[in-house]
Amino acid sequence: MRAALAACALAAASAVVADRALPPDLSRAGETSTLVVDKDDRLLRAFTTADGKWRLAASPADVDPRYLAMLQAYEDRRFAHHPGIDPLALLRAGVQAVTSGRVVSGGSTLTMQTARLLEPRPRTVGAKLIEIGRALQLETRLTKDEILQRYLTLAPYGGNIEGVRAASLAWLGKEPKRLTLGEAALLVVMPQSPERTRPDRDPAAARAARDKVLRVLAERGAITAREAQEGMQEPVPARRLALPFNAPHLAETLRAEHPPGARIATTIDRALQLQAEQLAAREQGFFADAGNVAIVVVENATRAVRAWVAGADFHGEAGQVDLVRARRSPGSALKPFLYGLAFDEGWLHPETKIADVATRFGDFAPRNFDRGYQGEVTARAALQQSLNVPAVAVLDRLGPTRFVQALMLSGAALEFDRRSLEAPSLPVILGGVGISLADLTMLYAGIAEDGRARPLRLRRDAPEDGIGTRFLEPASALWLREILRGVTPPEPYAQRSGLRPIAYKTGTSYGFRDALAVGFSKRWTIGVWVGRADGTPRPGQYGRTAAAPILFKTFDLLPSEPPSPEPILRAPPPPRALARLVPRAVADQPWRDDARGVAILFPPDGATVELERVGDELVPLALKAEGGRGRLTWIVDGRPLGAGSRFDAPTYTPESEGFLRLVVVDESGDSAHATVRVVTPR
């Protein structure tokens, strides 16, 4: 007796030692396809594993419960209760093999099959014994659901398809969440002989195997005879389908940023993405040349990207180029930001008159796209009509470096021609700089949100920047929204623009290489680019005619929006000092040489000024300027103080410590500005 007990103890100890010395290798179940999913976890694109398999991770929660019940009822009726092996099933299989002279049933449990999938071996008696041992080990390490998870991930379904999720997508064109009886039966039986029962190679064999499952399950009472009959009437798929292939450029980029097998959750809306891709493909079909289309859709409140169409044909010529990220010339699409910054400075107003006449700025003589001139126009009209001379005049006053820095500080990456000078120059406002459609759309979304730029969000786990970077004052952004909403929509949208007020701007680069349109509503911002991936010209393709219609068609794909609560703002008449903007190119002519430009004497730019106190009252800050023509208008933090001469300048009492932005404007429109810090006595 003692000897028997000792032998049992020794055997148990040996089993424990062997179990720890030779644990099962579970790594294969972790070598799964990288998945890129949308905001609702719908598959956008999957990638094959390193060994070339479509192996999509799947758990019991990912599949139809009826499929799981049918799988266990057909393959392993006592799965929930046995320890990894089913002695009754093994005994039955052995007796059948002896009496029939052939293998009638395998006797393998789902746990044993999982062990074989984790460590594939030739089917021999020795391999079967190893599977039995591994199955016992798996049961001590994993729960039943964890064992099922590995089976559902690794089961073979013909070719390079592994796992029930990949099989359901490839053979049925759907996720395995909801399956008919016939579909579930087919997915149950295919792993037994995946190549023989491939529907694309032998649909008759696939049908026969599926029908056998239905008959057996009806005999065992797992389904009714009527259900079995209905399942047999279902068609068998005739071909293998491609797995989802949406947002391929974005998926490719995100995959490169993550380890193999990652599940990458994006902000994309798969339904909208599919519609936008179809729209881009349809529009490309109208092009007689090798034109392409890129579209990006952003939800303003969160900056979440809901659609990213980086090209109309991923498999076409240069199809792998991500045209949403590519830096191309924006043409005139940067002009709104220039006018907004000038509004901020206080020397430009929407109703300020600007001369649109032949003007030379040094060696640069810009002309409008139509080669004509409009005469004297307001800043509002100049922006809405995208006139070039007024825009260059405004940039000449603001300064190209200041303009470029403002865009870059807002998060936009700009690219300059290596042949140009190191410092930005005036042609930058006419498209002489490279910017991506993504960054351009990000900036326009900032106009929609009171002048606050925030990064676009592509991944759901990306932190939402609720603060961002203020690059325009709210009042200036409001003026821009009102001005851009006044741009006439392309036909036939001009007749129904009131259904969703859209503010937008177009751009056409030099030589018709790029045509752009970017627009926003209260909820959405959309950017559209049309051109060739190689940057060659497309004569006659303007932003207004080539890109703007696609912009409005994309807006039509979006949910309807309630009327905006934002009132329509018409800017009041400008102060006399802002009635006209005289370009420096004109002001610097010989007949103006007697005039000196206006300058702020006190407080100087960058100074820290300590205010004086008399009793409990602060002594007002004296503002002094020199030069300029006529009376001077002072503006502090965007609020006019009134007009005066160089000798009777106003005073200003700050409400608190901090920074002040001072602007002084003369009657010719010349201006100077300074930023100072004020502190109070301690």
The domains located in the chain, with CATH, are 2-232 (1.10.3810.10), 268-354+371-421+430-574 (3.40.710.10), 583-679 (2.60.40.10)
pLDDT in tens, 135-162: 999 999 999 999 999 999 999 999 999 9
Most confident range, picked from 107-111, 384-388, 418-422, 651-655:
384-388
* 81-110: average pLDDT: 68
pLDDT in tens, 469-501: 999 999 999 999 999 999 999 887 765 555 788
Question: CA 255, 257, 262, 265: dihedral to nearest 10 degrees?
Answer: -80
Count of other CB atoms within 10 angstroms of residue 315: 9
Asked whether residue 59 carries a pLDDT value surpassing 90, the answer given is yes
Asked whether residue 586 carries a pLDDT value surpassing 60, the answer given is no
The whole-angstrom separation of Cα 411 and Cα 399 is 19
Average pLDDT in the chain:
87
Burial grade of 603 (CB within 10 A; 0-12, 13-18, 19 or more): buried
Specify the DSSP element, H or E, that contains 116.
helix 110-118
The whole-angstrom separation of Cα 289 and Cα 277 is 19
The whole-angstrom separation of Cα 608 and Cα 644 is 25
> Of residues 253 and 614, which shows the higher confidence score?
253
Q: How confident is the model at residue 377 (pLDDT cuts 50, 70, 90)?
A: very high
The whole-angstrom separation of Cα 213 and Cα 229 is 12
* 173-198: average pLDDT: 97
State the pLDDT at residue 468.
86
State the pLDDT at residue 593.
33
Q: How confident is the model at residue 215 (pLDDT cuts 50, 70, 90)?
A: very high
Helices (H), 144-224: 144-154, 164-167, 181-189, 203-219
Which position among 108, 168, 332, 671 bears the catalytic label? 332
> Of residues 579 and 2, which shows the higher confidence score?
579
Asked whether residue 364 carries a pLDDT value surpassing 80, the answer given is yes
How far CA 196 is from CA of 41, 106, 208, 259, 345, in Å, comes to 33, 18, 11, 35, 76
Count of other CB atoms within 10 angstroms of residue 617: 9
Q: Work out the percent of the chain whose per-residue pLDDT is above 90.
A: 63
Reply yes or no on whether 332 is catalytic.
Answer: yes
Q: How confident is the model at residue 373 (pLDDT cuts 50, 70, 90)?
A: confident
Contact 583, 397 (CB under 8 A): yes
Asked whether residue 595 carries a pLDDT value surpassing 70, the answer given is no
- Produce one character per residue of 63-74: b if its CB has 16 or more CB atoms within 10 Å, e if not: bbebbbebbbbb
In terms of phi and psi (left: phi > 0; alpha: psi -120 to 50; beta: otherwise), the region of 218 is alpha
Instruction: Say if strands 599-602 and 624-626 run parallel, antiparallel, or are unpaired.
Output: antiparallel
* N-term to C-term CA, the chain: 97
* 644-653: average pLDDT: 65
The whole-angstrom separation of Cα 206 and Cα 193 is 10
The whole-angstrom separation of Cα 247 and Cα 571 is 42
pLDDT in tens, 275-312: 999 999 999 999 888 899 999 999 999 999 999 999 99
Looking at 176-180, 350-354, 458-462, 633-637, which range is the least confident one? 633-637
Asked whether residue 385 carries a pLDDT value surpassing 50, the answer given is yes
Q: How confident is the model at residue 21 (pLDDT cuts 50, 70, 90)?
A: low
Asked whether residue 163 carries a pLDDT value surpassing 90, the answer given is yes
Looking at 184-193, 465-474, 565-574, 642-651, which range is the least confident one? 642-651
Question: DSSP states of 74-90 as a string?
Answer: HH-TTTTTSSS--HHHH
> Of residues 337 and 422, which shows the higher confidence score?
337
**Phi first, then psi: what are they for 614, rounded to 5°?**
-115, 105
State the pLDDT at residue 422.
58
State the pLDDT at residue 123.
79
Query: Closest Cα to residue 29, out of 111, 114, 108, 109?
Result: 114
The whole-angstrom separation of Cα 214 and Cα 182 is 8
Residue with tokens 């030589």: 511
Helix 65-75, helix 203-219: angle, nearest 10: 80
Angle 87-89-91 (CA atoms, 0-180°, nearest 5)? 65
Which position among 33, 75, 131, 139 bears the catalytic label? 75
How far CA 225 is from CA of 76, 222, 236, 335, in Å, comes to 21, 10, 20, 72
State the pLDDT at residue 217.
97
pLDDT in tens, 228-252: 999 999 999 999 999 999 999 999 9
In terms of phi and psi (left: phi > 0; alpha: psi -120 to 50; beta: otherwise), the region of 411 is left
State the pLDDT at residue 10.
47
Give every CB contact of residue 20 below 8 A, 6+ residues apart in sequence. Answer: none
Give the bridge partners for 138, in sequence order. none
Asked whether residue 672 carries a pLDDT value surpassing 90, the answer given is no
Asked whether residue 102 carries a pLDDT value surpassing 60, the answer given is no
Contact 410, 435 (CB under 8 A): no
Instruction: Please provide the size of the chain in residues.
Output: 682
State the pLDDT at residue 455.
96
* 77-97: average pLDDT: 76
Specify the DSSP element, H or E, that contains 382.
helix 379-384
State the pLDDT at residue 3.
52
Asked whether residue 76 carries a pLDDT value surpassing 60, the answer given is yes
State the pLDDT at residue 576.
80
